[in-house]
Amino acid sequence: MGAAIVLAAACAASAAPSKTKAPLSLTARVLRANELKDFKPAARPTVIKDARKCAPSRYVSIIVLREHGFVACVREALASKSFRSTGLSTVTQFRTARGAREELATQVEIAKSKGSNYVGFRVRAIPHAHGYRLSSPGSRGYNVMFSDGPFLYLVGGGFHPAGKKHLTRFDVIRAAKRLYGRVHGHPVP
């Protein structure tokens, strides 16, 4: 009788639906068309394994990127005809979640110290996300960065401030939330 109960419990446990999420490739971890309002990818995303080609700006140290455990990245250029502006969706994979968090902190500090007129803003619903605006006389851009497991994500859009129609920070936040909802907790294939 006891063995039958254990066997029945084991069968029930194996029949229960798994809460494990399916693995996602690195190229599936960037924005899709129109996840950032009216923006479409300029080309198919490809995986880049050269840290020099993945550095988001000239201020990011390739040495530090590698120390944080850089594995690969995908940089997806986005374009919007209606806004006459460009956007970017990137994902960078690190060996560990700690490496992704450390690189996030490094890049936020660089944006604060080297960015043109850095202004931070809150991004709710994405744990530890950093939103910020960078601006100069001829351009303005909104960005959201967050890490999830061993991945670091950036969603951003830039535009000329004198344009009749332009992206808002809420458009970028909404796109980052969509991306987070789609990729959160999915493991590496």
Domain CATH code at residue 178? 3.40.1000.70
pTM of the model: 0.86
Is residue 72 assigned to a domain? yes
List, for residues 127-178, the tens digit of each pLDDT value: 999 999 998 888 899 999 999 999 999 999 998 877 788 889 999 999 999 9
Q: What percent of the chain has pLDDT over 70?
A: 89
Residue 47 belongs to domain spanning? 25-183
Is residue 15 assigned to a domain? no
Nearest to 33 by CA among 72, 74, 77: 77
- The total domain count for the chain is 1
**Partner residues linked to 46 by β-bridges:** none
Two tokens, residue 92: 């960078």
171: enclosing H helix or E strand? helix 169-183
3-state secondary structure 43-80: CCCCEECCHHHHCCCCCCCHHHHHHCCEEEEEEEEEEE
Is residue 10 assigned to a domain? no
Is residue 7 assigned to a domain? no
Predicted local confidence at residue 115, as pLDDT? 66
Predicted local confidence at residue 12, as pLDDT? 40
Is residue 40 assigned to a domain? yes
Nearest to 87 by CA among 159, 161, 135, 164: 159
